[in-house]
Amino acid sequence: MSVTELNISPVGRVEGDLDVKVYIDNGKVTRAHTQAAMFRGFEKIMAGKDPQSGLIVTPRICGICGGSHLYCASSALDTAWGTKLTPNALLLRAIGQASETLQSIPRWYYAIFATDLANKKYADKPLYKEVVKRWSAYVGETFQIGLTASGLPVQIYALFGGQWPHSSYMVPGGVMCAPTLKDITRAHAILAQFKNDWLEPVWLGCSIERYMEIKTWDDMLAWVEENESQRNSDLGLLIRAGLEFGLDKFGQGVGKFLATGTYLHKDMYNNPTIEGRNAALISSSGFFDSENYHEFDHMKVSEHVKHSWYGNQEDGLHPWDEPLPTPMKSQTLHDSDFDNQYSWSKAPRYDGHAAEAGPLARVIMNANPNNKEHQIRDPLFGDIIKKLGPSVFTRVLARVHEAPRIYKFIEQWLSEIDLDGEFYVKPVEKDGKGFGATEAARGALAHWIEIKDGVIKNYQVMAPTTWNVGPQDGNDNPGPIETALLGTTIEDPLDPVEVGIVARSFDSCLVCTVHAHDAQSGAELSRFKL
């Protein structure tokens, strides 16, 4: 049988700029290429600007993860300027970051991922009718409940940030708000509504506390069958249908994971430094090579451009050493030469390795037996990876597993705010280099800045989707999604939903990866027909 080529554009939902080309032989994907179809120009926009312009500009990179970019932008300046951060400032930054991630969990699950399980591909499965009844787009019974609930956590963000998305309340030296008791009380009430409307009755079918007792895969399976409430919850259905539909059998990926970590402890990062960041994290950073854990070192991060449409840099440069991007002529998916350049995304590597970023990477780091007392210690996904390995199923399960824990963190941090304490300490501006990172809902996000003569000399952003959707590197090794697609069975080439399921399990978001516009010269960089 001859090899069939499929050009799929777009693959993404909502942020639909991801294109994929796959080669199918005997019904299985034997080669895959991901293409980011728009140029990112934010680094060019930042050059020559006031160092604090990143607080305004970078949150506009993404309408979903704008708070995560603000977290990174302020943290990069904290380390460049050597600021002071009070416990209140660290708590309010963590609450903002956690609120943004919490809203994304039901929104992503119902609107981006679960609707694929209502595809006719699974029509012969016993649980198909129940899945269609609950998770069909727009009309599903719990689709509507989950989407409505997803708007609640960002109300908490807006209480402290003034607005969501695109707030600028995090600044070097702290935060630009001083909440009142009324604000804290209101935030607690919104959080409780999120729990009572969706998290416990619809998603878990039990209390948060009962769910967080699960420590192994066997515990999880026993929890599903413990009673009808848990078995018939949306999480119970995901586990039963996910295994019945075979989501644990494809989409494995590169098997290496990277997390930059997030939520800096209120008493451990009051004098921010790059070197002191790992130890102060609550959700730990690290690199997992499929067998061993390694401490995260941002100096081991590099980007390759051999297969990207950039013309002025070498392969394997650290972000501080990368030049501002110089775009080359791009091609459409149909016309691209996949032996040469074929994407606007660069190819990030950690210590030379392609690595998956995202919730699965985070929960694997949480299972690191070396985590400190103040860090998350959750062995569940260490056990799941050993027993099931990475797949679409484990990737999805990792993301929804975070909701109860994040809920408890926000509840705790709200109670720790000292309303009479300080929220901001004015920093002294100076030249230097800075690094700021966090975990956006989709995974590892980092900003690097170099300040010279009082303005930005260089600014580089590396988003989680850049890690996952990046093309081949300088040695022609494929990126994580390209690898995850290999071996996938495509039942109907006219409806290759399997490609979408794999790509969407990573929650690829191209607006963080690519963008474009030369505001200074007005020059047209590229033209797209929509």
- Is residue 225 packed enough to be buried (19+ CB in 10 Å), middle (13-18) or exposed (0-12)? exposed
Edge to edge, the sheet with strand 286-288 lists 257-259, 286-288, 293-294
286 beta partners: 259
Q: 22 with 485: CB under 8 angstroms? A: yes
d(CA 502, CA 112): 12
43 annotated binding-site participant:
yes
Phi, psi of 382 (to 5 degrees): -65, -40
d(CA 365, CA 371): 8
Token digits of residue 14? 């909502």
d(CA 458, CA 2): 49
d(CA 270, CA 335): 52
Nearest alpha-carbon partner for 477 in 247, 248, 256:
256
72 annotated binding-site participant:
no
Residues making up the chain, counted from first to last: 530
206 annotated binding-site participant:
no
d(CA 329, CA 464): 25
Rg (CA), the chain: 22
d(CA 506, CA 443): 9
Positive or negative: CA dihedral 248, 251, 257, 258: negative
* H-run or E-run covering 67: helix 66-81
**Known binding-site residue numbers for Ni(2+):** 65, 509
**Known binding-site residue numbers for Mg(2+):** 43, 62, 461, 515
**Known binding-site residue numbers:** 43, 62, 65, 461, 509, 512, 515
**Known binding-site residue numbers for Fe cation:** 65, 512
